[in-house]
A = this chain, B = another copy of it.
Amino acid sequence: MNVPNSQSLLTARLVKAIRSICGPGVVPLHEPRFAGEEWNYLKDCLDSTFVSSVGQYVDRFEAELAQYTGAKYAVAVTNGTAALHAALLLAGVRPNDEVLMPSLTFVATANAVSYCSATPHFADSTEQTLGLDPSALREYLISIAEQRDGQCINIATGRVIRAMVPMHAFGHPVEIEALLAVARDFNIALVEDAAESLGSTISGQHTGTFGLLGTLSFNGNKTITTGGGGAILTNNADLARRAKHLTMTAKLPHRWNYMHDEIGYNYRMPNLNAALGCAQLRQLPGFIEAKRRLFDRYNAALVEISGARLFKEPPRCRSNYWLQTLLLDEAVAGARDEILAATNDAGLMTRPAWELMHRLAPYRNCPRMGLAVAESLERRLINLPSSAQLGLDRAA
C-alpha cells in the first residue's frame, strides 16, 4: 500500500461519510437558524424606534444571558473581540504587560491583547480539551517566571504576566479548575474566552463564569447570532458596572451633560441586534440538543474509518459542539489539505484550525513556550459542517 493511495482512500471515505450525514446540496460550515420570534422582535424594535444603544431588548438580552449562563451579570457589546478587549482592560491589563493565551485560537484573542498595548505570550494546548494545558503551563511558569511584589514577572523580558486567557475551542471546555489553580498560584488574572462555548458547561457550571470575567460571541457563525455581537460575563458587581461604563464611552450619568471620566469605547450592542439575540436565546437549548445529536450521527458514520476520529467532549463536560472537529492520525496528517479540497469541492464546507498565532506576521516574535501539541493539532484538525439544522432536519 503506498501512502498517496491510502490518503486518497481516506479522503473518499470521509467525503462519503460526511455527505451521508449532511444530505444533498451545498452544506455551509455553520449557518444560523431563525425559527423563533426573530421577526416579531425586530418588528417590535422598529416600531418602538429604539434600535440603537438604548432599549429594552439590550436590558432583556443581558438579563436572559445572565440567567442562562448563571453569571450574576452580563454586559452586551458589539462583538466578541470588543468583549475581550474590555474584559482584559477590566482585568488590569496595561501597556507592556504579557498575557498568556493559546496559540491555537482565533486571532481575536491575540488582537484584543494588542489593543491593550500588551503582548501575547503563547502557551501549548492539550489534546484532551484542544485548549490550554494546565500542567505544561505550570511547569513552564515555574521555569520562566518569578514573583515580585505580588506580581508574576517574566524573568527573560522583565514584564508583568498580568492575565491568562484560556479559550474553549470549538465549544469544548478547557480544564478550568486546574487553570484557575495555576492563575491563583502565580497571581495571574484569568479571563475566559468563551466566544465559541455558549451553552457548554463543566460539572454543570457554564463556561465563562469561572474566571474573573468571561466573554461570549454572537457572530453569524456562532451557535446563536445577533448579526454581530458579544457579551462580558462576571460575578463581580463592580466589574459589571465598570464594564458597562467602559463600553458606553465612559459617560457619567446626567440629564444633559456629556462628561466622560476615562478613555471609553463605543462597544454597546445596538437594541436591534439584541432583539435578534432575545429571539435566538430562546432556541439555544434546542440548537444544542441538535448539535449534540449531530455529533452522534457523525460519530456513528466515522467510527469505522481508521486514520481519523471525531473529537468528543472532555470528561465531566457538556459541550455545545459548536464546530464538529475531526482529528486525523499523525500518520495521515499529510492528507489534511486533500480532504479540505475534496470536501469543499463537493460542496461540503470544511475548514482547518486557524493558522497558529505564533506563525502570524504580527505575532511571530511574541514570547512562547514549546507548542508541539498545538502544532500537531493544527496539522490534523478539520472542522465539519455543524449547523443545528443538520441535527434537526431528519429523524435521529
Which residues of A approach B to under 8 Å, CB–CB? 31-34, 38-39, 42-43, 46, 49-54, 78-82, 106-108, 111, 114-115, 117, 219-221, 225, 227-228, 249, 251, 255-266, 268-273, 276, 340, 344, 350-355, 360-362
Q: Name A33's closest neighbour in chain B (CB-CB).
A: B49
Contacts of A268 in B (CB 8 A): 228
Q: How many copies of the polypeptide does the oligomer hold?
A: 2
Known: A50-B220, A79-B266, A117-B117. 17 other contacts (CB 8 A): A34-B49, A51-B220, A51-B227, A53-B219, A78-B228, A81-B266, A82-B266, A106-B258, A227-B273, A228-B268, A228-B270, A255-B340, A256-B350, A259-B355, A260-B360, A272-B272, A272-B276
The listed residue (B31, B42, B271) touching A49 by CB distance below 8 A is: B31
By the criterion CB–CB under 8 Å, are A264 and B228 in contact? no
For the complex, what is the distance from the CA of A209 to the CA of B265, rounded to whole Å?
26
Say yes or no: B266 contacts A80, CB within 8 Å.
Answer: yes
Per the bound structure, the CA–CA distance linking A353 and B257 in Å amounts to 8
What would 18 A/B residue contacts be, using CB atoms closer than 8 Å?
A: A31-B49, A39-B43, A39-B46, A50-B220, A51-B220, A52-B220, A53-B219, A78-B79, A81-B265, A220-B270, A256-B350, A258-B353, A259-B360, A260-B360, A261-B360, A261-B361, A262-B362, A273-B273
Q: Do A355 and B111 touch (CB < 8 A)?
A: no
Bound state CA distance, A265 and B108, in angstroms?
8
Contacts of A255 in B (CB 8 A): 340, 344
- Bound state CA distance, A49 and B387, in angstroms? 12
The answer to whether B258 touches A107 (Cβ under 8 A) is yes
Residues of chain B with a CB closer than 8 A to A80's CB: 266
Q: Please report the C-alpha to C-alpha distance between residue A34 and residue B51 in the assembled complex, in whole angstroms.
A: 10
Chain B residues whose C-beta falls within 8 Å of the C-beta of A219 in the assembled complex: 52-53
Determine the chain B residues whose CB is within 8 A of the CB of A350 once the complex forms: 256
Asked if B352 and A257 sit within 8 Å, CB to CB, the answer is: yes
* Contact A52:B228 (CB < 8 A) given known A79-B266, A255-B344, A355-B258: yes
CB <8 Å contact, A34 and B53? no
> Which of chain B's residues have a CB closer than 8 A to the CB of A79?
78, 266
Residue of B nearest to A222 (CB): B52
Contact, CB under 8 Å: B81 / A78: no
Query: What is the bound-complex CA distance between A265 and B115, given in angstroms?
Result: 9
Closest chain-B Cβ to A44's Cβ sits at a distance in Å of: 11
Assembled-state Cα–Cα distance A376/B329 (Å)? 73
A194 to B266, CA, bound (A): 17
Give the residue of B51, B228, B265, B344 whose beta carbon is less than 8 angstroms from that of A276. Answer: B51
Give CA–CA (A220, B58) in the complex, Å: 14
| Known contacts A261-B361, A266-B80; A38 and B49 CB within 8 A of each other | no
Asked if A260 contacts B227 (CB within 8 A), the reply is no
Query: A361 contacts which chain B residues (CB < 8 A)?
Result: 260-262
On whether A34 and B46 interact (CB within 8 A), knowing A258-B107, A272-B273, the answer reads yes
CB of A260 within 8 A of CB of B355, answer yes
Q: How far is the CA of A179 from the CA of B362 in the complex (A)?
A: 36
Q: Which residue of B32, B81, B355 is within 8 Å of A51 (Cβ)?
A: B32
Task: List, in ascending order, chain B residues with CB within 8 A of A269's CB.
Answer: 228
